[in-house]
Amino acid sequence: MREILSGRLKQCRKEKGLTQREVAIYCDITEKAYQNYELMTREPRLDVLIKIADLFDVSLDYLAGRTDKRPVNK
């Protein structure tokens, strides 16, 4: 799951045209913390993961690799 999560975080961020710093600011975490998520050295807390999913307009299931469907239907 970690490899899928880190890959999808990076893919979604790039598709949105955001920097790691911008995502970190939105999630109220340090840039280093977000970098660690993309590098697979740490996993985000659930509250942070929810913010990331909202920012990228995807589901938690998509980020975790439980589904390949995206974007979230709102």
pLDDT of residue 1: 76
Written as six digits, the tokens of 56 are 């990228």
How many other CB atoms are found less than 10 A from the CB of residue 36? 16
Give domain limits for the chain.
2-64
pLDDT at residue 9 tops 70: yes
pLDDT of residue 48: 98
Domain 2-64 of CATH type 1.10.260.40: yes
What's the pTM? 0.89
Give 30-60 pLDDT, tens digit per residue: 999 999 999 999 999 999 999 999 999 999 9
Residue 68: burial class (beta carbons within 10 Å; 0-12, 13-18, 19+): exposed
pLDDT of residue 73: 53
